[in-house]
Amino acid sequence: MTATRTIAFVLYPGLTALDFVGPLQVISALQEFGLGFEAVTVAAAREPLPTDSPVSVTASHTFEQVPAPYGLIVPGGGAPTFAALADEQLTGYVRQAARSAKVVASVCTGSLILGSAGLLEGREAVTHWAAMPMLRAFGATPVSRRWVADGHVLTAAGVAAGIDMALHLAAELVGEDAARMIQAAIEYDPQPPLGPIDWDRVDRASMESSIKSMAERGLADQPELLARLTTAGGAQSVSP
């Protein structure tokens, strides 16, 4: 009988809730449908952690309890995610787990945590559109796609893109038929009331300024890392 394979979602204070809850719902369905996988959440300690929404989350396991998961998924966020780039316990766990993981993934600015752990050097990657130039600080090549697979590393664009990435991952792990079943089960059929994003009308300067401000708050005590991020690639924009 094939052993159940574990996909671990990394939690830390201040992350964006949808970054991990969306993909978690998809991956949890693999377990619910008996497809040979289980989803767990991991953190430095099993205590309530704030998110960027009025809800806290508590990991099901500590880092020590899941040292070598089959897969690892790292969510992103705002200023707290930038602070997490300098968290040696967090990045150390990500680096260690990635050594044996068959899949390492991120959502939104979670890719910067992968970069800080040394996992993006020489790889194509994506993150939130306003933070794309920062990927260059870690030796990655920014690519404007909904998700990007480069070897065993899979990165997703901003927030809601994590669901798309997780469905793609599910198809890779258990086949398209099962992934389509999961998509139908969670009724993921986006029809936004305002239609698709009109990228020509997006206030890029405002959002890019906001991301830079988040980085400045999160890395106020890490001036070298802050400078590395905010000057990466000449801070030139990368369009979706």
> What are the catalytic residues?
108
Q: Is residue 165 within 8 Å of 154, Cβ to Cβ? A: yes
Contacts of 31 (CB under 8 A, 6+ apart): 4, 37, 38, 39
At residue 41, what is the residue type? T
Q: Is residue 240 within 8 Å of 157, Cβ to Cβ? A: yes
Q: Is residue 136 within 8 Å of 127, Cβ to Cβ? A: no
SS3 annotation, 61-95: EEHHHCCCCCEEEECCECHHHHHHCCCHHHHHHHH
DSSP code for 199: G
How far is the C-alpha of 165 from the C-alpha of 149, rounded, in Å? 9
Question: Within 10 Å of residue 105's Cβ, how many Cβ atoms?
Answer: 29
Tell me the β-bridge partners of 15. Answer: 51, 77
Contacts of 56 (CB under 8 A, 6+ apart): 48, 49, 50
